[in-house]
Amino acid sequence: MENIKITLKDGSIKEYEQGISVMDIAKSISEGLARVILAAKVNDEVVDLYHQVNEDSSLELLKFEDEEGKDAFRHTSSHILAQAIKRLYPAAKLAIGPAIDNGFYYDIDLDQKLNNEDLEKIEKEMKKIVKEDLKIEKFVLSREEALELMKEKNEDYKVELINDLDKEAVISFYKQGEFVDLCAGPHVPTTKKVKAFKLMSVAGAYWRGDEKNKMLQRIYGTSFEKKKALDEHLEMLEEAKKRDHRKLGKELGLFTISEFGPGFPFFMPKGMQLKNELLNYWREIHKKAGYVEIETPIILNRELWETSGHWYHYKENMYSLKIDEQDFAIKPMNCPGGMLYYKSNMHSYKEFPMRVGEIGRVHRHELSGALHGLMRVRAFTQDDAHIFMLPEQIKDEIKGVIKLIDEVYSTFGFKYHLELSTRPEDSMGSDEEWEVAETGLREALEELNLDYKLNEGDGAFYGPKIDFHLQDCLGRTWQCGTIQLDMQLPQRFELEYIGKDGEKHRPIMIHRVAFGSIERFIGILIEHYAGKFPTWIAPTQVKILPISDKYMDYANEVKKELFANDIRVEIDDRAEKIGYKIREAQLEKIPYMLIVGEKEASEKTLSVRSRDKGELGNIDIKEFISNIEQEVNDKINSL
């Protein structure tokens, strides 16, 4: 038997007999390593540890810390869940069970509605399966054999999935003990690996996400290699519940969603104050960065949406209507309106780069089951901007946008990581255009010395993109900012400029957002700060607490002076004890409380209590105003 060369991640090369398994390669390196790896990448394809290598290959051994290793571990967790379900509920029909961020799920068709007690029973059975140390083995069947096996097991959903596969496809299955499931894999070698897991909840889910299909029961779970990591994750989830923006949004009087408008949030006065402060900040930094601001119509006719391609590719997410017997649509995004703005005048290369921003209201039809507070809504405000430029300006403009978005996230105390997504298979445009675009994005990142993850083939059909994934105080990530280079809309709308040569040319265009959806960003901020907003964006910055009605005149005097200095201030004028008023102000998460009584009124001072630092003592009113102004002006230091 011939020898093959295996190139490891560190660049070293080892020789083995042809047909050696990944597990045996790992054992040859270190028995300890073989015990902790979960899967592997052979020539960039993720495989099981039983996979045999028959040719010279690159090999990367994957642990739980690796994304692909985590996915294999949690995919196996979903199979253990499915096996437990089939043992306890033999009539259950299985749909799909993938790994997802922070966990896994399995969709099942079962007449009995599952509750928390049932989840405990399933969890107990899963623990038995783990203890049984069942080897997880892959095998393949022809399409006909696969259909026969799944029909024999009465698995209707698996039959449908197989029927959708290519007729010539060889179909893979995984077996663990008596349980067999249709699956592409990969999986960890044995059920014994999955020791720390927890079933979290049951929810409804339409088969294949289509509301015309049957509603299934989706069982969510999470799993980790070690119990300590699981416990930490569960503690984080408990903290996240306390920070739930829907709960805090109601308690703090920020927003509400009416039964008369699911997915259409109402902002209360305090929520509107918060939103306006964010928009003021947006306008401030964009003005400094050389952007102009426009506003485009919310409703435009069908011809525009046909030109942009939305009428054919996005219509199910759009709200349409008839006006004067013509088809119109409420805009789901601002970009086509931005194209019309550009076309309203002829432009010269001397005007480039043109940085055009819009705080635009957009509407998208989301399935009712997907709606979630401010995080997923049907109407939201998007902080779009479109930059029109020359090809040679791409790199510098990308760098400028990255710096601007970095400033935004730093102001709110967010860390983030970057992902660069390149040309997908179904792309539009020439090889040369894509090469210029991808090179511009990559070089901009590298010249700024920024680390990024490369997502090959995950760009938009019209151009490559950079996504910003911000991390909140609980370690959760949110995709917010994005920079997309678009070579297609300028062509679709026949955008032109007069070049140095006096001829007409097509501009390059960038789409970009910093907040993304402002409503969603507010939801993230509520949870990130647990409602304790920094002073500069807090809806109410100061609450004056008079000890009794005798000091209301002085309280109003203080309020008037603070108000005159643009400080957002309220008075608690209720006939309650001061301790009660302080507790209420703390629950409202007000940054500063000013207690005023006889001493303060006679000395014209304020007894200041900080939400974050406690008692600050007696301070002169002008000094207090100066301190607040400095804190607001220095946004980053106020965090």
**Catalytic: 479?**
no
> How far is 149 from 146, CA to CA, in rounded Å?
5
Question: Where do we find the tokens 């760098």?
Answer: 399
Q: Which of 442, 465, 543, 589 is catalytic?
A: 465
| The three-state (H, E, C) secondary structure of 407-475, written as one string | HHHHHCCCEEEEEEECCCCCCCCCHHHHHHHHHHHHHHHHHCCCCEEEECCCCECCECEEEEEEECCCC
> How far is 566 from 17, CA to CA, in rounded Å?
77
**Catalytic: 214?**
no
Question: Where do we find the tokens 């409602």?
Answer: 531
> How far is 99 from 77, CA to CA, in rounded Å?
8
Could you tell me which of 346, 56, 103 has the C-alpha nearest to residue 224? 103
Yes or no: say if 551 and 597 are a contact pair by the CB < 8 Å rule: yes
Q: Which residues pair with 602 in a beta bridge?
A: none
Q: Which of 79, 364, 442, 611 is catalytic?
A: 364
Yes or no: say if 412 and 360 are a contact pair by the CB < 8 Å rule: no
Q: Which of 384, 406, 467, 486 is catalytic?
A: 384
> How far is 273 from 270, CA to CA, in rounded Å?
5
CB neighbour burial string for 55-92, b if at least 16 within 10 angstroms, e if fewer:
eebebbbbebebebbbbbbbbbbbbbbbbbbbbebeeb
**Catalytic: 364?**
yes
Q: Which of 51, 187, 363, 511 is catalytic?
A: 511
> How far is 179 from 97, CA to CA, in rounded Å?
14
**Catalytic: 511?**
yes
Tokens of 582: 């302080």
**Catalytic: 442?**
no
**Catalytic: 465?**
yes
Q: C-alpha dihedral over 543, 548, 553, 557, to 10 degrees?
A: -20
> How far is 384 from 339, CA to CA, in rounded Å?
13
Q: Which of 41, 331, 386, 520 is catalytic?
A: 386
Q: Which of 86, 118, 217, 335 is catalytic?
A: 335
Give the pairing type, strands 99-100 and 103-109: antiparallel
Q: How open is the CA angle 19-20-21, to the nearest 5 degrees?
A: 115
Could you tell me which of 521, 516, 413, 532 has the C-alpha nearest to residue 473? 413
User: Taking the alpha carbons of 510, 511, 516, 519 in that order, is the dihedral positive or negative?
Assistant: positive
- Gyration radius of the chain over CA positions: 29
Residue type, 611: R
**Catalytic: 473?**
no
Q: Which of 176, 273, 382, 393 is catalytic?
A: 382
Residues with active-site annotation:
335, 364, 382, 384, 386, 465, 511
